[in-house]
Chains A and B, each alone.
Chain A
Amino acid sequence: MVTAKKMKKYLELINFRLQLVMKSGKYVLGYKQTLKIIRHGKAKLVILTNNCSALRKSETEYHAVLAKTGVHHYKGNNIELSTACRKHYRVCTLSITDPGDTDIIRSIPEQTGEK
């Protein structure tokens, strides 16, 4: 059971990094494009929300496993993820192709591992 304090800390960390990626890095939003990028081997990290449909989640995870790409399950729904990305539309699958200035690819798996 994730406490409110831990949740807040987690969100601060990941949201900050996501915003940096939106500014300085390269990313792809949306299920179709994410799958395309994974297939081409360009995805470095895939982020899925908690209300992503189970079938879509499984399919994306399977592709990511084949491509040896990390998958992160964002602890929020698509509205929250879109807010974190500063977009005015909902996003339930996103993929980072170039992290830019952030260390999101190294730090996010570490943090989720600690939990």
Chain B
Amino acid sequence: MGKFVKPGKVVLVLVGGYSGHKAVIMKNIDDDTSDPPYSHALVAGIDHYPCKVTASMSKKNIAKRSKNKSFVKVYNYNHLMPTRYSVDIPLDKTVINQDVFTDTALKPKAHREAKAEFEERYKTGKNKWLFQMFQLLISGKWSDTQHHWLTIQLADSDLLDSGQQLSNLCSAVKGLEVEASSLVLSVPP
């Protein structure tokens, strides 16, 4: 009843080299007529997340660890998982658009623009979820990216009622037998 795949929406990439990475929709094409002939979205995402930074680090170290690397890509809607988050990062549409994929000179410019805007937003401390690597801690083990879209539900505590639901979800994934009490959620702040 409401369209939620809109520019500014944060999505998770499910497929390909950037699986498990978070991205922001720049432009979405809903109809199946233009090239490619399926509903797709142009996203700008984070390739390399900024590292953890503590107060005891030197300024030089902090600057180095706060760097990120971005990517710009076109994805089929089926290969994206929309989240409830959206950001209003002012990514320049004239620089980041579909021409990037045909003209090789435009690509580095688009990447640089995305990287710069993401870094600026990261430094303000807003939209922390976007800059955190997607992860789930299950009984002390990090889950691999195969289970990443299981982990969305777990990391998004809005949807969870109880630990029972959690363990139902986990046993639905092959090879994951977890008791509800031993789960530790990494819930976004």
Residues 153-178 of B at the A interface (beta carbon under 8 Å):
153, 156, 158-159, 165, 168-169, 172-173
Residues of chain A lying within 8 A (CB to CB) of residue B5:
39
Residues of chain A lying within 8 A (CB to CB) of residue B152:
62
Q: Which residue of A lies closest to B4 (CB)?
A: A66
Tell me the interface secondary structure of chain B in the complex. Answer: mixed
CA distance A61 to B81 in the complex (A): 13
| A3 touches B (CB below 8 Å) | no
Residues of chain B lying within 8 A (CB to CB) of residue A58:
153, 159, 169
Residue of B1, B5, B39, B77 contacting most chain A CB atoms (<10 Å): B1
| B3 touches A (CB below 8 Å) | yes
Residues of chain A lying within 8 A (CB to CB) of residue B82:
39, 63, 66
CA distance A85 to B36 in the complex (A): 34
| B92 touches A (CB below 8 Å) | no
Residues of chain B lying within 8 A (CB to CB) of residue A59:
81, 149, 153
Q: Are B39 and A67 in contact (CB under 8 A)?
A: no
Mask of A7-44 contacts with B, CB within 8 angstroms, 1/0: 00000000000000000000000001001100111011
* A side interface size, CB within 8 A: 21
Q: Are A44 and B39 in contact (CB under 8 A)?
A: no
Residues 43-75 of A at the B interface (beta carbon under 8 Å):
43-44, 53-55, 58-59, 61-63, 65-69
Q: A43-B1, A53-B172 are in contact. Are A66 and B84 (CB under 8 A)?
A: yes
| B150 touches A (CB below 8 Å) | yes
Q: A59-B149, A61-B159 are in contact. Are A67 and B77 (CB under 8 A)?
A: no
Give the Cβ gap from B19 to chain A, nearest Cβ, in Å: 16
Residues of B within 8 A of A (CB): 1-5, 30, 39, 77-78, 81-82, 84, 149-150, 152-153, 156, 158-159, 165, 168-169, 172-173
